[in-house]
Structure 1
Amino acid sequence: MAAKIIADSNALKSQLEKLEKEGTKLYLNGAPSTTEYIVSHCVNEDTVYMPDYVTDGHGKIKEIRYDRISLK
């Protein structure tokens, strides 16, 4: 189980870092956030988080929002 959590964490981190470098803004519970902060709060053994993708008029992702995340 721990190996899967690490793999999920690394996959999420890679995806968010790539998008953040391309100018995508990241949000956690409505506040601007960072890749590291989102990964540390969204990788969990029992929960899958589904982000909201906000696009511009051309279909390019401009924001990724993770809402209703329990911050422990």
Structure 2
Amino acid sequence: MTSEKETNSSLLKSQLETLEKSGIKLYLNGLPSTTEYIVKKCVNEDTVYMPDYVTDEEGKVKEIRYDRISFH
């Protein structure tokens, strides 16, 4: 059996790989990133990251920016 963490990791990795291959740029905390690094950070840390979908003038997604969310 796979754990929920492994399932989430596989799903996120698959989605991001598809988007990255289609030319969408990935960022983590304002810096260019990769699918592997984002998956590692989002799934393996006890931190919440929120994706922000940035579009071009035609409404097509051109970037996904994952930013760490702080709870105060």
Instruction: Give the structure-1-normalised TM-score.
Output: 0.83
**DSSP 3-state at the match of 1:51:** strand
Alpha-carbon distance between aligned partners in 2 of 1:34 and 1:25, rounded to the nearest angstrom: 9
State the number of aligned residues.
69
Deviations 1:45-65 (A, max 9, x none): 755532000011111110000
Structure 1 window deviating more from structure 2 (12-21 vs 48-57): it is: 48-57
Q: RMSD across aligned C-alpha pairs, in angstroms?
A: 2.2
Q: Is the 8 A contact 1:5 1:45 kept in 2?
A: no
Q: TM-score, normalised by structure 2?
A: 0.83
Given the superposition, is the C-alpha separation of residues 21 and 67 from structure 1 closer, same or farther in structure 2, using an over 3 Å criterion?
same
Q: Which has the higher strand share?
A: 2
Q: Percent identity?
A: 74
Structure 1 ranges of 4+ moved more than 6 A: none
Q: Provide the rounded CA distance (Å) in 2 between the counterparts of 1:32 and 1:48.
A: 18
Deviation string, structure 1 residues 24-67 (Cα, Å, up to 9, x no partner):
00001100000000000001475553200001111111000011
